[in-house]
Amino acid sequence: MADRPRFGPACMHACMPCRNASRLQSLKKPVSDIPKYLHDEGLDAFEYQAARWGPKPQMKRETAEKLGRNVVHHDVWLTLHGSYFVNLCTEGEVLEASKRRLLACVTAADWMGAHAVVFHPGYYGKRPPKRGIRDLCQCNERGGGIYAVQQHNKSTSCT
């Protein structure tokens, strides 16, 4: 938990094109420069968006580590938003692909020293909501999903 209330944006890599580009995204600077910019603007939190990631981290380890050093140096609280393409309320290959995507996000979050990984665990589709929740709990009991992430990296909280 943060040491005090903190405020800052959630955004993707500063160089990525965006139809409605924010001021931060229009800087055209490396993601590792974002903490300094936020600090200079009086902000002290940043959520890195890995929302469209696949089964491998889509960031080089050295870039993530540099971002991590810079958030510490500029006192910016860092979190990561995991892939939207996760559904732990299912079985088979969709579940396995979801776990790979989630683990990719947790791996990068560890590299950058993020304090938390936020993700949406799944959707119940045409099933009743209670069934979707039950399926999610069963997935976790079978060693999938959140349990797998916790075993992958004990230092990252994914609850």
What are 34-72's pLDDT values in tens digits? 999 999 999 999 999 998 888 899 999 999 999 999 999
**Domains identified in the chain and CATH numbers:** 10-152 (3.20.20.150)
CB–CB of 70/35 below 8 Å?
yes
C-alpha torsion angle, residues 151, 137, 90, 129 (rounded to 10): -150
CA dihedral sign, ordered 46, 7, 15, 19:
positive
How many whole angstroms separate alpha carbon 126 and alpha carbon 94?
16
How many whole angstroms separate alpha carbon 135 and alpha carbon 141?
10
Confidence check: pLDDT of 109 > 90 = yes
Confidence check: pLDDT of 150 > 60 = no
Confidence check: pLDDT of 87 > 80 = yes
Cα separations (Å) of 132 from 13, 80, 124, 125, 126? 33, 25, 5, 8, 9
pLDDT of residue 16: 42
Is 93 or 154 the better-scoring residue by pLDDT? 93
Is 147 or 110 the better-scoring residue by pLDDT? 110
pTM, rounded to two decimals: 0.77
What are 117-143's pLDDT values in tens digits? 988 888 777 888 888 777 777 766 665
Coil/strand/helix, residue 114: coil
- Position 29 confidence tier, pLDDT thresholds 50, 70, 90: confident
